[in-house]
Structure 1
Amino acid sequence: MYNLGTGKTVGTWIFFYMLMLQRTYSFSGFIKEPLDENQAEGDLTYFNCIVRGLDETQYVSWLHNGHKISKNGEIIMNAYAHYSIEFDSAFGSYNLRIQNVQRRDKGGYTCTVYDSNDQIVEKSRTANFTVLEIPQQQYPICSSTKTSYHVGQSVVLNCISERTTPPASLTWKQSVGGTESGLKESLTGNYENSYSFIAKQSDNRAIFTCVLTTSANPSLYRNCSIGPLDVLYAPTVRIEQTRDVILGNEAIFICYSDANPQESSFKWSFDPPVTENMFVLENDIILRIKNTLSSLNGTSVICKVTNSIGSGSSKLIVNVKSKVYINNVVETNNGKETKKSEKINERNEMKPKNQNSNSNQQLLQTPSPNNNHSRSTDISISLVVIIALGCIVVILGLALIPVGYMKYTRRQPSDTISRGRPVSIPDVYFEPRDHIDPMLPQLGLAAPWMRTVGVQVPGECEYDATYNTQVMPQPRQVYYTQRMYPASSL
């Protein structure tokens, strides 16, 4: 029971009780609560929280999946070092900022108000954060079930991606004729897309590529490749001859082969058989018949090539052609000889006579090609002569320009008078003139006698020095003083 002995004790208890009630219920609510978010790995995201009427004994913390990760404006857990709080106590904002989003950041986020005893006063709604996962850097991974295949065998190529949310897309860039399995879960828990086809000879050394994309980051594009694919097959053979087989000449046959693995042997044969001294082999690939006989006509030449997978062969029938001389030029015509001149004579005899007469009239009316040729030759020679004369005139004109310039601009010689030719008057000249300053009667002094001499020089005039002669020598300063010249002129 409480001791109510004095009114002072009761009043103190009532005061503290009312103070606790005021502090407990000073928080008035959330102005803004966090909303659900989804963001790709490596990006940036925010969760907003604004409170109103927060008491000084209360504080705000963020909870991630029920665990307290902050207090007011500080992150209190080392595992959340990439988190930060944008804290403004005056405005009541406690926004959570997550930089470089990671997969473990997914889950629920709650803005919570605590009292001084770390008791929860109020919680905001829980915002669900979905992290859009991106496959790790090593994906996609391409693989095949075998290292090599025979022609006709089934080939299965696998493209593997990490299991993510959302799932990545895997697409094969392949040749026509294969089948994709589509995206499915593999035995290891990842996603895979298989591509299968029947091996053909054309698939040897082919390269197959798988491309990875994801909706979490549309700009992401990765790929992996398998190849060159090793497809084993028996040799495919063909024989080619370098030129026509002519009677008495050399005949050359070449055996071409395409095989994987490499050919192990080449074997030549004839049907019907021929003696060995009639042909020569070079590197087992080239067959030479030095002297072709008529008996080889219709003979089959066979080349058989073998490797570790099997054998392949090709056959060529020899067609021997004889030599034909036409106007001293050898031609072949399957063993028959004719002359070109005889054929031409036969064609001329078959022409009607009227056609020949018409052609003769046309020849008479039509200028002969020789006349046209000579006329064109005369025109070309005349044109060359005219061009040559024009060039000579231009060159002479250019050569006479400096000669004329020197003739009309040079100076006349100084001894022209002695030679009896008139002397040209210069454009600028001076006449010599003597003069004496007037006497000054009041001073009784004689003025100096002075002479000016002008000389014509090329381009400019030069003046000789002025010669002064005084009748009565006296200092120059005294003379000008007596003539009452101002002192400033001295």
Structure 2
Amino acid sequence: MYTLGFRTTIGTWIFFYILMLHRTYSFSRFIKEPLDENQAEGDLTYFNCIVRELDETQYVSWLHNGRKISKNGVIIINTYSHYSIDYDSTFGKCNLKIQNIKRSDQGEFVCTVYDSNDWIVDKSRTANFTVLEIPQQQYPICSSTKTSYRVGQRVVLQCISEKTTPLALLKWVNNIGGSESGLKESLSGNYEKTYSFTAKQSDNREIFTCELTTSANPSLYRNCSIGPLDVLYAPVVRIEQTRDVILGNEAIFICYSDANPQETTFEWSFDPPISENIFVLENDIILRIKNTINRLNGTSVICTVTNSIGSGSSKLIINVKSKESTNNVVETNNAKETKKFEKPNERNKNKSKNQNSNSNQPLLQTRTPNNNNNSSNYISISLVVIIALVCIIVILGLAMIPVGYMRYTRRQPSDTISRGRPVSIPDVYFEPRDHIYPMLPQLGLAAPWMRTVGVQVPGECEYDATYNTQVMPQSRQVYYTQRMYPASSL
């Protein structure tokens, strides 16, 4: 019994030793093993595996996170349909290709050799695959803590992105003096970057944009916007007058307002107060003073506008001008204009008057610089006109040269004499001639119409006998007989 147990123990050790030798021998058959990879979502990647000296009972498979996903060159799990294998048993090639990479593809990949009993004979090194995550299509998302803000309140805008590896980069484009926070994790598990500032009236209707980029795909660019921002403020008021306030004339004042929300009331007041009979309001915006009196000079006109946020007002002081001062200003302006647009005849008359008034004074035979300027202007204008006329004459003369040459060289018939000079004839010409015979009174028929054509051709051309046919004269009776007129009718 003891001998039998000892032999069994020795046999077991020999078996394990042979198995270890077999595994050691198999490990040397991996010619190429997969390497670590990292790739962005949506791209593709490869894992290489080349094995030599496989037995007929052995085959190669790929493991993903310890799960067998293929056998030789076939993917055996439907969820890995975007996987494919470049398999060649002759060279022992079994390369894995992953298209349209997903986040679930991240993990460990191992090239494994199995025997016929699905026992693992040997494994390659473990290749770690890192998927560079890209935020989903709906990101970034822009949001605001409130729907509207009052002037002076703190505005906080949020730009949210999905939590990915690596983290996406967020940046607010608008820079109006606000502060931008760093990336921080939100309560929902995403990452966000905020932008905050104090609301001003100029921020109303503004649009703010946030940009998203990622190192996983440098070409990727997305953005989101929030706005127009609703900033509430009290009315901003100003008063304008259409023209100067003149004593005895009508004066018009207009009250302009800018408010959010829209203004609700307009109210006019005066300091010191004036009678209601003096002014008229139109649509609460226009103030008309029908007859301006001197007592209104220095009076303050105040327009107050109110909305749901508050009130705003503007003040204007009336400055009444008399008609005399305005007439003097108008006459002065008119005198300047009449002097500016004075006619030459009037100037000559004024000059003659001045000469007559100064006839007793000695006359100086000198020319003023202005006269020199005028004469030089006249000379320059006449010189320009002369030069222009000379240029026109030269151009017309040059244009007539080719016309005269063409008329001189135009070919004319050579068998005629024009003014004692022979004129050339063309090689070929056509001369149509029409003949109408007189009407026959006894028949009452219209005379026939005939056309004969004479043709001149060069002498070296071939002679056509048809153009030399002699037409013998015939009587009128024969002519009409040939045209089926009865002889009795002639």
Normalised TM-score (structure 2)? 0.68
In 2 relative to 1, CA 322–425 (structure 1 residues): closer, same or farther, beyond 3 Å?
closer
Residue 305 of structure 1: aligned partner = 305
Residue 166 of structure 1: aligned partner = 166
Q: CA offsets per residue over residues 289-330 of structure 1, 9 Å max, x none?
A: 233222211111111001111110000111122234799762
Residue 92 of structure 1 deviates from its aligned partner by: 1.1
Residue 211 of structure 1 deviates from its aligned partner by: 1.0
Give the alignment's Cα RMSD to 1 decimal. 4.4
Helix, strand or coil at the partner of 2:238: strand
Q: CA offsets per residue over residues 393-444 of structure 1, 9 Å max, x none?
A: 969x89x969985999677879x9xxxx9x999999xxxxxxxxxxxxxxxx
Residue 192 of structure 2: aligned partner = 192
1:372 paired with 2:375, answer yes
Residue 135 of structure 1 deviates from its aligned partner by: 0.6
Q: Distance in 2 between matches of 1:403 and 1:79?
A: 92
Percent identity among equivalent residues? Answer: 68
Residue 176 of structure 1 deviates from its aligned partner by: 2.3
Helix, strand or coil at the partner of 2:366: helix
* Matched letter for residue 171 of structure 1: K
State how 1:39-118 maps to structure 2 within 5 Å. 39-118=39-118
* Matched letter for residue 144 of structure 2: S
Q: Distance in 2 between matches of 1:100 and 1:289?
A: 79
Residue 204 of structure 1: aligned partner = 204
Q: Indicate conservation of the 8 Å contact 1:247/1:320, yes or no.
A: yes
1:265 paired with 2:268, answer no
Q: Distance in 2 between matches of 1:235 and 1:380?
A: 68
Q: Distance in 2 between matches of 1:426 and 1:207?
A: 89
Q: Indicate conservation of the 8 Å contact 1:321/1:332, yes or no.
A: no
Residue 16 of structure 1: aligned partner = none
Q: Indicate conservation of the 8 Å contact 1:171/1:212, yes or no.
A: yes
Residue 180 of structure 1: aligned partner = 180
Residue 237 of structure 1 deviates from its aligned partner by: 0.6
Q: Indicate conservation of the 8 Å contact 2:266/2:306, yes or no.
A: yes
Helix, strand or coil at the partner of 1:364: coil
State how 1:380-391 maps to structure 2 within 5 Å. 383=386
Helix, strand or coil at the partner of 1:276: coil
In 2 relative to 1, CA 292–215 (structure 1 residues): closer, same or farther, beyond 3 Å?
same
Q: Indicate conservation of the 8 Å contact 1:323/1:332, yes or no.
A: no
Q: Distance in 1 between matches of 2:421 and 2:224?
A: 103
Q: Distance in 2 between matches of 1:403 and 1:195?
A: 85
* Matched letter for residue 185 of structure 2: E
In 2 relative to 1, CA 52–284 (structure 1 residues): closer, same or farther, beyond 3 Å?
same
* Matched letter for residue 116 of structure 1: S
Unaligned runs of 5+ in 1: 2-18, 334-338, 341-355, 429-456, 466-490
Unaligned runs of 5+ in 2: 2-17, 337-357, 426-454, 466-490
Q: Indicate conservation of the 8 Å contact 1:205/1:228, yes or no.
A: yes
In 2 relative to 1, CA 253–363 (structure 1 residues): closer, same or farther, beyond 3 Å?
farther
Q: Indicate conservation of the 8 Å contact 2:235/2:259, yes or no.
A: yes
Q: Indicate conservation of the 8 Å contact 1:26/1:55, yes or no.
A: no
State how 1:248-263 maps to structure 2 within 5 Å. 248-263=248-263
Q: Distance in 2 between matches of 1:389 and 1:224?
A: 69
Q: Distance in 2 between matches of 1:249 and 1:269?
A: 21
Q: Distance in 2 between matches of 1:42 and 1:228?
A: 35
Q: Indicate conservation of the 8 Å contact 2:41/2:102, yes or no.
A: yes
Residue 265 of structure 1 deviates from its aligned partner by: 1.1
1:35 paired with 2:38, answer no
Helix, strand or coil at the partner of 1:330: helix
Residue 332 of structure 1 deviates from its aligned partner by: 9.6
Residue 243 of structure 2: aligned partner = 243
Residue 154 of structure 1 deviates from its aligned partner by: 1.6
* Matched letter for residue 115 of structure 1: D
In 2 relative to 1, CA 309–74 (structure 1 residues): closer, same or farther, beyond 3 Å?
same
Q: Distance in 1 between matches of 2:154 and 2:175?
A: 15
Helix, strand or coil at the partner of 2:330: strand
In 2 relative to 1, CA 283–175 (structure 1 residues): closer, same or farther, beyond 3 Å?
farther
Larger Rg: 1
Residue 236 of structure 1 deviates from its aligned partner by: 0.8
Q: Distance in 2 between matches of 1:319 and 1:186?
A: 63
Q: Distance in 2 between matches of 1:94 and 1:403?
A: 91
In 2 relative to 1, CA 175–324 (structure 1 residues): closer, same or farther, beyond 3 Å?
farther
Normalised TM-score (structure 1)? 0.68
Q: Indicate conservation of the 8 Å contact 2:140/2:212, yes or no.
A: yes
In 2 relative to 1, CA 188–363 (structure 1 residues): closer, same or farther, beyond 3 Å?
farther
Residue 134 of structure 1: aligned partner = 134
Residue 437 of structure 2: aligned partner = none
